[in-house]
Chains A and B, each alone.
Chain A
Amino acid sequence: MASDDINEKTGLTSPLRRQLLKGMAAVPAMAAFGGAARSSFAADGVNTTGLAVTDTEVTVGILHSVTGTMAISETGSVQAEKLAIEQINAMGGVLGRKIKYIQEDGASDWPTFAEKAKKLLVNDKCASVFGCWTSASRKAVLPVFEQYNGMLYYPTFYEGLEQSKNVIYTGQEATQQIIAGLDWVVKEKGAKTFYLLGSDYIWPRTSNKIARKHIENFQKLEVVGEEYFPLGHTQFNSVINKIKLKKPDVIYAIIVGGSNVAFYKQLKAAGFDLENKQTLLTISVTEDEILGIGGENIVGAYACMKYFQSLDNENNKKFVAAFKEMWGKDIVIGDVTQAAYLGPWLWKATVEKAGSFDIDKVAAASPGIEFTGAPEGYVRIHENHHLWSKTRVGRARTDGQYDVVYETADLVEPNPFPKGYQ
């Protein structure tokens, strides 16, 4: 029918064109047949909702920016997810099925993320998606994952205030990362006054809000300044002068992206000695960022997060070795990269516990899932779909790595909706 209509309108008469058009008309019929074929898998119970699962293969999605301004940060996550998938396949896959991934590029553009997420869920029927990096991209895809009932493993440390059946947050939420670090710096450095800095968007602002509440209401100490800069800001001399005047015990910096490079270079040029004189605590500089900043410009700064490449345990040694073998010996691994690596492994463990790829069953089976092979040590999924994890403080070295100087004794409970901090 369709082909006849087109022929009438366009007057195409060539036999080849006619054949092509007939072929196109047949596509929907094939799709319907495919649907029927898939439904036969319902019998074996691992896939009752029509996900892209065959007897030998399961399809997942990877959704990060590999072009645009966020490619700098998201590259590591893509690499970690591919490594995890390769390792899982080498072990025999998930429920006996090899993982096949479809990678889509969010292109650092939030509507593109939403569109690609929809494509991965609706067209490709991905059994799970590993992806997103910025909170903005996650907020953009969240309604898509909820509407089409997909499963997202999100790797970045973020501001909290969110929880969804369709998302597993493998990075730390703000209180996990912030409170332990502030307590440490007060106990260890006797800090009394703080100067808060940040890039001007949701994550630094929310994180600094939590930090300020903790400093003022719980630690009963003083915040002497709080400032935000547009993303991409490159001139910090004025604020550096202000810091000189206020002389805070701790500079607490949540600056992201290229601005970081400008900030630390100018801080050093202004004569701040992070090694001996000035304490600086950041939650936004991983080994990845130091590549751009240059180790000599940030040596002595403290960072508070859950993972550092230098962590001394067997899991991590194996992970770092495998990562370098796959992606080159000069590569560095930051906190988020490690968190991205957890995604496929947690999903595999959850699917195997649930005995099914069905999203609802995976979501229900998630709380309590453990991963003992995590490079950061041991993690467990909480009822609220975030991870129990330890928090660590590292001190930057000239070679761009961190020395771990502190580690919480126990796993820190994730608390995305903290009382008294909002």
Chain B
Amino acid sequence: MRGDAAMFDYSFAELSSILVMQGFAGLILFSVFVLMALGLAIIFGQMGVINMAHGEFMILGAYVTYLTSHLFTEFLPFAYPAYFFFAMIFAFIAAGALGLLVEWVMIRHLYARPLDTLLATWGLSLILQQIFRSTFGAREVGVELPDWMMGSLNVTDSIEVQINGLFVMGLTAAITAAVLVLLFKSRWGLQVRAVTTNRTMSGAVGIDTRRVDRMTFGLGCGVAGVAGAAFTMIGSTGPTSGQLYIVDTFLVVVFGGAQSLLGTVASAFTISQSQSALEFFISGSMAKVITLLIVIGLLMLRPQGLFVLKVRR
């Protein structure tokens, strides 16, 4: 408590630079939330599949990054500073391919029973965790980053901006834009939206709904893989690390209104800003409790989430 009273002892310059950095911390958290929720928003929102293995697809991306960094150190040391970009592409391909496979083997049999996807993908997450453990060992692996991605930029003497934070923000903006364009400007996006709105009618007008489903699931998983690759900059890479993200991810998607990507972004913004501000004034655990209470309260008032897409059922 003594510490809190001391908050008033600081100079205006100190407080304002902390305010700037705190705002920036909130923006980083916002980007992280959007990035991890995007893949799930595509799968859960567009297809209604509750993908409990989302975190494991992310960690697959992280492990691919780990392997890529070793590959580059071993065979292409001169290109090492740029390895991260290749890692993200590989992560997208690996997670996306696994997504396609999972859709074909498992998910497509469960579209009529959405609640069962919860159980099936939860089982899948356990299987994937054990595969990671058997392949990479139970210990966490350290993913090394090129030097240019570490450290911070000094904007002024007292304001420092983290480079990897900027990187995550840029990446999030790029991927969100790409997904939005894909969904709202491309022919495939039109088909996806048509299937979401009315599956039977879409089939009747000649849309191959199975193929659309498979590609949507693959895309969602691929985006999760890229998110996992990006999170090697800020988090751990171990067989069960995916579990760290799953709760926050569902929170963001459900709070935003499952079928609206805009809702996902808005909800990520609300949750990240309130959490980051609360964390600054009270302790980490309590900040989480209060954030969750606010979300629960809002969901009780508005069970469908922040934004709703009008769907005819």
Contacts and interface: CB of A to CB of B under 8 A. Distances in A.
Please classify how large the interface on chain B is, using the bins under 10, 10 to 19, 20 to 34, 35 or more: 35 or more
Nearest to B21: A241
Interface string A255-274: 00111111001101111000
A238 B280 contact: yes
Nearest to B165: A269
B152 A292 contact: no
A238 B276 contact: yes
Interface in B9-34: 10, 14-15, 18, 21-22, 24-25, 28-29, 32
Nearest to B162: A269
Contacts of A190: none
Among B240, B241, B284, the one with the most A-chain Cβ atoms within 10 Å of its Cβ is B284
Contact of A72 (B22, B139, B150, B162): B139
A241 B23 CA distance: 10
A318 to B, nearest CB: 24
Contact of A200 (B137, B241, B285): B285
A237 B280 CA distance: 9
B295 to A, nearest CB: 15
Interface string A208-244: 0000000000000011111111101111011111101
A72 B276 contact: no
A69 B29 CA distance: 24
Contacts of B160: 270-271
Nearest to B154: A271
A66 B138 CA distance: 8
Contacts of B241: 258
A373 interface: no
Contact of A238 (B22, B150, B235): B22
A230 B238 contact: no
Given A229-B284, A241-B21, A270 B162 contact: yes
Given A228-B283, A241-B22, A291 B276 contact: no
A268 B138 CA distance: 26
A239 B6 CA distance: 16
Contacts of B143: 294
Contacts of A329: none
A234 B235 contact: yes
Contacts of A292: 139-142, 236-238
Among B32, B164, B283, find the residue whose CB has the most chain A CB atoms closer than 10 A: B283
Contacts of B236: 234, 257-262, 292
A221 to B, nearest CB: 13
A65 to B, nearest CB: 9
Interface in A261-316: 261-262, 265-266, 268-271, 288-296
A258 B140 contact: yes
Interface string B165-185: 100000000000000000000
Given A229-B285, A261-B236, A270-B152, A293 B142 contact: yes
A22 interface: no
A239 B279 contact: yes
Majority SS of interface residues in chain B? helix
A268 B152 CA distance: 9
A257 B241 CA distance: 10
A68 interface: yes
A49 interface: no
Contacts of A271: 151-152, 154, 160, 162
Nearest to B278: A238
Contacts of B10: 245
A224 B6 CA distance: 9
B140 A71 contact: no
Contacts of B6: 224, 246
A323 to B, nearest CB: 14
B243 interface: yes
Interface string A85-118: 0000000000000000000000000000000000
A294 B3 CA distance: 32
A68 B285 contact: no
Nearest to B143: A294
Nearest to B144: A294
Nearest to A76: B139
A67 interface: yes
Contacts of A224: 2-3, 6
A75 interface: yes
Contacts of B239: 71-72
B99 to A, nearest CB: 23
B235 A261 contact: yes
Contacts of A246: 3, 6
Given A229-B284, A230-B285, A258-B238, A69 B243 contact: yes
Interface string A63-86: 000111101101100000000000
Contacts of A238: 22, 25, 276-277, 279-280, 284, 287
Given A238-B22, A261-B236, A291 B244 contact: no
Interface in A377-420: none
Contacts of B284: 200, 227-230, 233, 238-239
Nearest to B130: A67
B233 interface: yes
Nearest to A231: B244
Nearest to B33: A235
Contact of B29 (A200, A226, A237, A289): A237
Contacts of A228: 283-285
B116 to A, nearest CB: 24
Nearest to A229: B284
Contacts of A290: 142
A75 B151 contact: no
B133 A67 contact: yes
Nearest to B237: A292
Contacts of B140: 72, 258, 261, 289, 291-292
A291 B66 CA distance: 13
Interface of A: 66-69, 71-72, 74-75, 200, 222-230, 232-235, 237-242, 244-246, 257-262, 265-266, 268-271, 288-296
27 contacts: A71-B133, A74-B138, A75-B137, A227-B283, A229-B284, A229-B285, A232-B244, A233-B284, A234-B234, A234-B244, A234-B245, A235-B276, A235-B279, A237-B29, A238-B22, A241-B18, A241-B280, A245-B7, A257-B236, A258-B241, A258-B244, A259-B236, A290-B142, A292-B140, A293-B142, A295-B142, A296-B144
Given A237-B276, A258-B241, 7 more contacts: A229-B284, A238-B279, A240-B25, A241-B18, A245-B10, A262-B234, A295-B142
Interface pairs A-B: 8 shortest CB-CB: A292-B140, A237-B25, A261-B236, A258-B236, A238-B279, A71-B138, A229-B284, A294-B142
